[in-house]
Structure 1
Amino acid sequence: MLRNELEQEIKKWTRRLNRKLSNARSVDEHGDNLIENAEAYRKDSEHFFQKDPIKSFECLIWAWAMIEIGEKLGHLRSS
């Protein structure tokens, strides 16, 4: 039961992250690095989804944090 709920949350937040990443625009080199790392964490989340959903969710959190921090520090903007 808990695993199913976690998998549903992962799917929901993956959709949100995909939208956020598709609208994220880099302002500088730091922004480029943040987007690259966020996309890598998103891919890692996909990799871990079936085998270890907790790690999968953690990867999503890291990806989301990178985008949020990049926006707050002015390295990224939404289009």
Structure 2
Amino acid sequence: MHDKILREDVEKLIEKLEPQIEEIEPQTAEAEEYYSNMKAYIEDSKHFMEKGDLVRAFEAIIWAWAFFEICHDLKMF
């Protein structure tokens, strides 16, 4: 039961973040680095989901969201 809920939560977070990430156009090398990290964490999250490691999948998507929020707040994108 908990696995199903966690999987659904991770899937929702990925579905919400991916379209926002695709709209980003990094303007600096620093912004490009954060952008690359966000995309990598999303891919890591998907990889962990496929392997059934839902805790790591959740952790990875949370890191992607954290980078996104920080960059947004600092107006890096």
Fold shared per TM-score above 0.5: yes
1:53 aligns to what? 54
Q: Give matches, 1:1-79, under 5 Å.
A: 1-49=1-49, 50-76=51-77
Counterpart residue type for residue 56 of structure 1? A
Q: Determine if contact 1:26/1:32 at 8 Å carries over to the other structure.
A: yes
Q: Which runs of 5+ in 1 are unaligned?
A: none
Which structure has more strand as a fraction of its residues?
1
Q: TM-score, normalised by structure 2?
A: 0.91
CA RMSD of aligned residues (A): 1.0
Q: TM-score, normalised by structure 1?
A: 0.88
- Of 52-61 and 67-76, deviating more is 67-76
Decide whether the 8 Å contact of 1:42 with 1:60 is kept in 2. Answer: yes
Identity of aligned residues (%): 29
- Looking at structure 2, the residues matched to 51 and 42 of structure 1 have their Cα atoms a distance apart, in angstroms, of 15
Where in structure 2 are there 5+ consecutive unaligned residues? Answer: none
Contact residue 27 and residue 74 of structure 1 kept, 8 A: no
Matched residue count: 76
